[in-house]
Amino acid sequence: TAGVMAFYGLRSVAFRRIPAAMRSSSCIGVGGKWPLGNSNAASKSALQPSNMPLLSTSLILSSFRSNSNGASRLSSSSSRKQSTSDDDTEQEEGSWSNYERLVRKLYMTNLFNPVKLGLENMDRLHKLLGIPMDQPTVAVVHIAGSNGKGSVALKTANTLQRSGYRVGLFVSPHISSFRERIQINGRPISEEQVERYLQETFDVCERENIPATFFEITTALAFHVFAEEGVEVVVLETGLGGRLDATNIVRRPALSVITSIGLEHTRILGDTIEKIALEKGGIIKQGCQVLVGKNVPLEVLQQCAEEKKASELFQCDDVLGPEGEPRLVKGITETFEDYDVENSRIASAALILLQFHLTQQKIERGGEVKLITRDEIEEGVKIRPPCRFEEMDIPAAIMAEDGSAMRKIVRVVLDVAHNPQAMGYLIDKLRSSYPNVSDQRIVVGMSADKDLKYCTKILL
């Protein structure tokens, strides 16, 4: 939902030139090509940043030139330019592959089906697809949280794969390719799989007149793929909140995990930690185990688990024993804990709890029991997702003071911090990792529904 890039030693950043065809259309940039859509007054609400699918290379522009009757005011010159633009667009569309065409159609979905809270669309889609996530042969790990849920999901899926399970992983948003959202055994699904299963999902929506949104269709696509490709375990990351999230049509997960609770999406989830915790706690189900991280309002989630008749609620210490000395990172103003340690600890506890469910499931169905060993857990949780304080060195041409050009290696740090809690950690981590660097450049991209004021205050 956001991106932060910190540049060290770089004096300027050149931005990609925007194609002229974007002049008066609503566009979402994907891989350097620009699918165009007609803008109209009815689409305005759908174009709000909170309603659009976020892409790491996305650019959202809208230009509405309408009079009181909704008719476009275009000069003859503008009309001629628009005609030329339309011809260029038609030629470009003709060069798209079937995969590109389908994914572009998906990206434009929210222009016609504005986002609304509720599970009605997903309930219908899930049933029409054969309720794949409620099959007794599939174990679902459902993960929610303000921070850390993507990392915990990846660590859990990676370890299960190491233990011999066929694992489906659903995460969002993606960094470079749409296919990253849906993975099987650590590999994004292929373009051919997207072509087949996304078309089938579209067909169901159109045949049954289901006005599904981008995230609902993407979630249904993941469920469809996992069922058809025969995965044994699905690790499912929520998109937003929990109670009304599209992933929350799973009736009986093997384990529900809530990593942390912080202030985020306050217009939708609530303006206090306690209210947000109740929304995240919506993934807790009757008869299912629950695991929570240490950065949550425990009493609120315990009450939620009791009301929903969960079988038991665990903290990491209950499963792994008391935590040893925390791995601390020394910042400029304070000492703080490395968040990856907490994410790894949550994933490790989740895997141990999941082992009992998977073993029982295999015994009941006469399948081969696959034990998750301590070594597999230790190695499996070491993995980190991209853009979580990801450091890289980029060669760049720098203009010296005397006007001459010189080549220099620029250290770039990528991070997806998008709320005050994560942003504060990121800044402390930057300061502790690069205490003597003064010429920093920070580029930030965030959706309008984030706490922009507080995050900016932290950055400054």
Q: What is the 3-state secondary structure (H, E, C) of the chain?
A: CEEEEEEECCCCCCCCCCCHHHCCCEECCECCECCEECCCHHHCHHHCHHHCCCCCCCCCECCCCECCCCCECCCHHHHHHHHHHHHHHHHHHHCCCHHHHHHHHHHCHHHHCCCCCCCHHHHHHHHHCCCHHHCCCCEEEEEECCCCHHHHHHHHHHHHHHCCCCEEEECCCCCCCHHHHEEECCEECCHHHHHHHHHHHHHHHHHCCCCCCHHHHHHHHHHHHHHHCCCCEEEEECCCCCCCCHHHHCCCCCEEEEEECCCCCHHHHCCCHHHHHHHHHHHCCCCCEEEEEEECCHHHHHHHHHHCCCCEEEEHHHHHCCCCCCCEEECCCCEEECHHHHHHHHHHHHHHHHHHHHHHHHHHHCCCCCCCCHHHHHHHCCCCCCCCCEEEEEEEEEECCCCCEEEEEEEEEEECCCCHHHHHHHHHHHHHHCCCCCCEEEEEEECCCCCHHHHHHHHC
Please give the Cα distance from 95 to 90 (Å, whole number). 9
Per-residue model confidence (pLDDT) at position 4 = 63
Q: pLDDT digit string (tens) for 386-412?
A: 998 999 999 988 887 888 888 888 899
Q: Is the pTM of this model over 0.75?
A: yes
Per-residue model confidence (pLDDT) at position 334 = 55
Low-confidence ranges of the chain (pLDDT < 70): 1-93, 325-336
Per-residue model confidence (pLDDT) at position 82 = 53
Per-residue model confidence (pLDDT) at position 85 = 54
Q: pLDDT digit string (tens) for 136-188?
A: 999 999 999 999 999 999 999 999 999 999 999 999 999 999 999 999 999 99
Strands ordered across the beta sheet of 312-315: 187-188, 182-184, 167-170, 233-237, 139-144, 255-260, 289-295, 312-315
Would you mind telling me the total number of residues written for the chain in this entry?
Answer: 460
Per-residue model confidence (pLDDT) at position 84 = 52
Per-residue model confidence (pLDDT) at position 325 = 63
Per-residue model confidence (pLDDT) at position 354 = 96
Per-residue model confidence (pLDDT) at position 126 = 97
Per-residue model confidence (pLDDT) at position 88 = 56
Per-residue model confidence (pLDDT) at position 64 = 27
